[in-house]
Chain A
């Protein structure tokens, strides 16, 4: 089964529940099997599979909640300039994996998924756009916001740990 381990990991991050992730992965594979005739040969199979998984997730209760959150937050609004002050360069050395994981878990789903697809799955912006069903410009702006939110969470955590 292609991409099984990656899809399972992604599903766990989306659902935050191993049981729900298993159901999600199984359902996604069944849908992919039934709808394989709709897959256009020569196009991106990985993005197609991730898209099925994510669309399936969006039909779950947790997914519906997550999609409602996205609609409030506009991806197309201009990204605010970066704060040149970057404490994370010094702090990263002290950060443990648990802190990053916790920050990821605290992120809204639409931020978490774009970071996972980019940083873990190493998808191109175009592939991410296909998997999430959004334009490439939206991928870039959403990724920028997601990283900023992640850094803020990590910053808060580090400040909390040092005080």
Chain B
């Protein structure tokens, strides 16, 4: 290769931008070529001289401070940065989901617990040899019996023209609060109607209207006039619902 061709590689050689193979080729040539060696040396010296001469301007401390202040002013607060906003929104959404889920689960658990306790009372009553304290098919006998025993009163429906038959009633204490339990028969099935105060400490908040099944028992529950009604029995859900409608109508009278 002629010197003219080698000279084209000298810039890359002095700029240390050659591959090991290229360096080897150039250095082999330089060993035998004083002219190219002189040229290489000249370029190296020029490069060094240029470096020394061009490092000429230095910023003043005042200018540096001015730029720093300008940057500081233009910098958005951390909460204005879109990435931070997105992360924050994500965290809030996640927290909301957790809170709502936890609240729903807690409410559901409290409701299930309440129904389970009342179901136990119903089962205990039906298993008892003295299931009720007042035995009467007449609502005008049963309702007055509760007078003075409960801090509230409630209406009983007329059951004469229905398949339901009032057996009697008794006083129960549910979560340290007095309540009424009525026992009603339908086709040899027994149904309990619990009437308790719908307030904190007795029933969970936001229990709402319920129509469900618990361990094979049909259950309906609602709130009316500050009282919580819970109807439980081993009969069909339709029977429970019909009795519930009669009680709702009576409560509104």
B108 to chain A, nearest CB (A): 45
Judging by beta carbons under 8 Å apart, are A84 and B35 in contact?
yes
Closest residue of chain A to B7, judged by CB? A82
Judging by beta carbons under 8 Å apart, are A1 and B56 in contact?
no
Judging by beta carbons under 8 Å apart, are B50 and A104 in contact?
yes
Closest residue of chain B to A9, judged by CB? B57
Closest residue of chain A to B49, judged by CB? A100
Which of B11, B42, B64, B70 is the most central at the interface, judged by chain A CB atoms within 10 Å of its CB? B11
A69 to chain B, nearest CB (A): 20
Judging by beta carbons under 8 Å apart, are A9 and B56 in contact?
yes
23 pairs, CB–CB < 8 Å, chain A vs chain B: A1-B67, A1-B71, A8-B57, A8-B59, A8-B63, A13-B54, A26-B70, A81-B4, A84-B35, A89-B41, A95-B49, A97-B53, A100-B50, A115-B50, A119-B50, A119-B54, A120-B50, A120-B54, A120-B55, A124-B17, A125-B12, A140-B12, A147-B46
- Say if the beta carbon of A39 comes within 8 Å of chain B: no
Map CB proximity to A onto B1-34 as digits: 1 under 8 Å, 0 otherwise: 0011001101110010100000000000000000
Map CB proximity to A onto B35-76 as digits: 1 under 8 Å, 0 otherwise: 100110111011101111111111100011011101100110
- Say if the beta carbon of A159 comes within 8 Å of chain B: no
A-B complex: 10 closest residue pairs judged by Cβ atoms: A12-B57, A100-B53, A82-B7, A81-B4, A8-B59, A89-B42, A97-B53, A119-B50, A120-B54, A9-B57
A interface vs B, CB < 8 Å?
1, 4-5, 8-9, 12-13, 18, 21-22, 25-26, 29-30, 33-34, 37, 79, 81-82, 84, 86, 88-89, 92, 95, 97-98, 100-101, 104, 115-116, 118-120, 122, 124-125, 140, 143-144, 147, 150-151
Knowing A100-B50, A120-B51, say if A30 contacts B8 (CB, 8 Å).
Answer: no
B231 to chain A, nearest CB (A): 63
A21 to B54, CA, bound (A): 15
A37 to B46, CA, bound (A): 40
Judging by beta carbons under 8 Å apart, are A104 and B67 in contact?
no
The one of A13, A82, A122 that contacts B57, using a Cβ cutoff of 8 Å: A13
Of the four ranges (under 10, 10 to 19, 20 to 34, 35 or more), the interface on chain B belongs to 35 or more
The one of B15, B43, B56, B67 that contacts A29, using a Cβ cutoff of 8 Å: B67
Closest residue of chain A to B83, judged by CB? A37
Query: What are the residues of chain B within 8 A of A150 when measuring CB–CB?
Result: 46, 50
Query: What are the residues of chain B within 8 A of A18 when measuring CB–CB?
Result: 57
B interface vs A, CB < 8 Å?
3-4, 7-8, 10-12, 15, 17, 35, 38-39, 41-43, 45-47, 49-59, 63-64, 66-68, 70-71, 74-75, 83
B39 to chain A, nearest CB (A): 5
A11 to B28, CA, bound (A): 40
A122 to B54, CA, bound (A): 12
Query: What are the residues of chain B within 8 A of A37 when measuring CB–CB?
Result: 83
Judging by beta carbons under 8 Å apart, are A84 and B57 in contact?
no
A116 to B54, CA, bound (A): 7
Judging by beta carbons under 8 Å apart, are A1 and B39 in contact?
no
Query: What are the residues of chain A within 8 A of B39 when measuring CB–CB?
Result: 82, 84, 86, 89
A115 to B51, CA, bound (A): 9
Judging by beta carbons under 8 Å apart, are B74 and A30 in contact?
yes
B58 to chain A, nearest CB (A): 6
